[in-house]
């Protein structure tokens, strides 16, 4: 029998959402009446069909059973972890690159006290968690030694201490362990636990919450003609297999975030397919993290209108993600994006 997937869609937000949930005309995402949906799309690798939630009982029995199983996961309220509130949509992860070569802000904060000062700014502007990275994983970048990576982030992490909610962006188990020993709150592995075979052992032993990101191949190779049979469903299956892998390796908690990895081994067409259908990942039952900030797809769409920071494209993508129920946005321009989200949601609340 062909595998089926359930994507919730046609979302409502704020006052209208609460009203529709009360009237039982929409379903609340993760039990949150502030964001709800009244349609689902049932997909396979050969077909797709969109229906209203009121028509679910008219589906064939095997389809209805699958959809109801997925909806149970989608409607369930998420437990908070890493000092993040998953009833708040979205949480903002501020980016702090302590590298000389990251794609948009390399070299800006890796000198003297600049990293710590920027972390303070990101928190002040409203970031819920700060993602600290010491190794660039942009397309074409090469891996650096553990020593070099740790030297870039060590002092900043120690200075931050317990003052902020911190995620560490690393592929290496040694860096994970040292960061966890300093009391950080989340591990963000862009390789999806594929880079370092010892990472799973560290995560199991420490019980730290972590992000699994999809990335096709290593950074040196990932943008060299990436191909998928079906990018959306291939990546969905990747997460299913990866969650199964971590459970079989003794990780019993569900403090896991999934990130489809926009720009990591994807063409513009792949990125747009993922973004426009991002709500399919809600049926996996884990918070979704999305990194759209300053990404190259914005340049490819805007063409001659592109600017270095790509702020306009970042804000518009963030608003779209908000309306798909994405729980965490990874952002460079925290102050400006939060301003944009506040103004947009004000219209929906009044």
- Antiparallel, parallel or unpaired: β 5-13 and 129-133: unpaired
Name the region of 235 (left: φ>0; alpha: ψ -120 to 50; beta: rest). Answer: alpha
Burial (CB count <10 Å: 0-12, 13-18, 19+), residue 35: buried
Q: Is 295 considered catalytic here?
A: yes
Find, among 294, 322, 320, 318, the residue nearest to 307 by Cα: 294
| Count of beta carbons in the 10 Å neighbourhood of residue 318 | 25
Give me the catalytic one of 295, 308, 335, 349: 295
SS3 148: helix
H-type alpha helices, 126-185: 146-160, 173-181
Q: Is 330 considered catalytic here?
A: yes
Give me the catalytic one of 111, 330, 342, 346: 330
Give, in order, the Cα–Cα distances in Å from 313 to each of 93, 257, 269, 340, 343: 17, 24, 16, 12, 16
Find, among 25, 20, 30, the residue nearest to 285 by Cα: 30
- Phi, psi angles (nearest 5°) of residue 13: -135, 150
- Antiparallel, parallel or unpaired: β 5-13 and 32-43: antiparallel
Question: Which positions are annotated as active-site residues?
Answer: 295, 330
């Amino acid at each position: 029998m062909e595998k089926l997937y359930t994507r919730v869609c046609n979302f409502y937000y704020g006052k209208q959402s609460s009203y529709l949930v009360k009237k039982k005309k929409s379903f609340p995402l993760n039990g949150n009446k502030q964001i709800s949906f009244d349609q689902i799309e049932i997909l396979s690798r050969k077909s797709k069909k969109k229906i209203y939630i009121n028509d679910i009982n008219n589906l064939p029995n095997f389809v209805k059973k699958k959809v109801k199983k997925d909806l149970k996961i989608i409607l369930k309220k998420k437990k908070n972890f890493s000092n993040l509130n998953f009833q708040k949509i979205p949480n903002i992860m501020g980016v702090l690159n302590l590298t000389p070569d990251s794609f948009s802000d390399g070299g800006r904060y890796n000198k003297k006290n600049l990293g710590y000062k920027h972390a303070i700014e990101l928190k002040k502007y409203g970031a819920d968690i700060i993602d600290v990275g010491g190794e660039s994983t942009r397309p074409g970048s090469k891996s650096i030694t553990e020593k070099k990576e740790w030297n870039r982030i060590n002092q900043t992490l120690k200075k931050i201490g317990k003052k902020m909610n911190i995620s560490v962006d690393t592929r290496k188990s040694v860096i994970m362990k040292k960061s966890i020993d300093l009391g950080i709150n989340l591990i963000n592995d862009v390789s999806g636990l594929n880079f370092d075979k010892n990472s799973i052992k560290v995560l199991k032993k420490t019980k730290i919450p972590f992000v699994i990101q999809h990335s096709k191949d290593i950074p040196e190779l990932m943008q060299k003609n990436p191909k998928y049979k079906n990018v959306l469903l291939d990546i969905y299956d990747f997460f299913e297999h990866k969650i199964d892998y971590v459970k079989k390796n003794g990780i019993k908690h569900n403090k896991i975030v999934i990130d489809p990895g926009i720009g990591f081994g994807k063409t513009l067409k792949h990125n747009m397919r993922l973004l426009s259908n991002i709500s399919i990942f809600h049926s996996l039952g884990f918070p979704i993290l999305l990194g759209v900030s300053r990404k190259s797809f914005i340049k490819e769409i805007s063409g001659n209108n592109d600017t270095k920071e790509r702020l306009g494209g970042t804000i518009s993508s963030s608003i779209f993600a908000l309306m798909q129920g994405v729980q965490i946005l990874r952002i460079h321009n925290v102050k400006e994006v939060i301003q944009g989200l506040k103004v947009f949601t004000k219209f929906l609340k009044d």
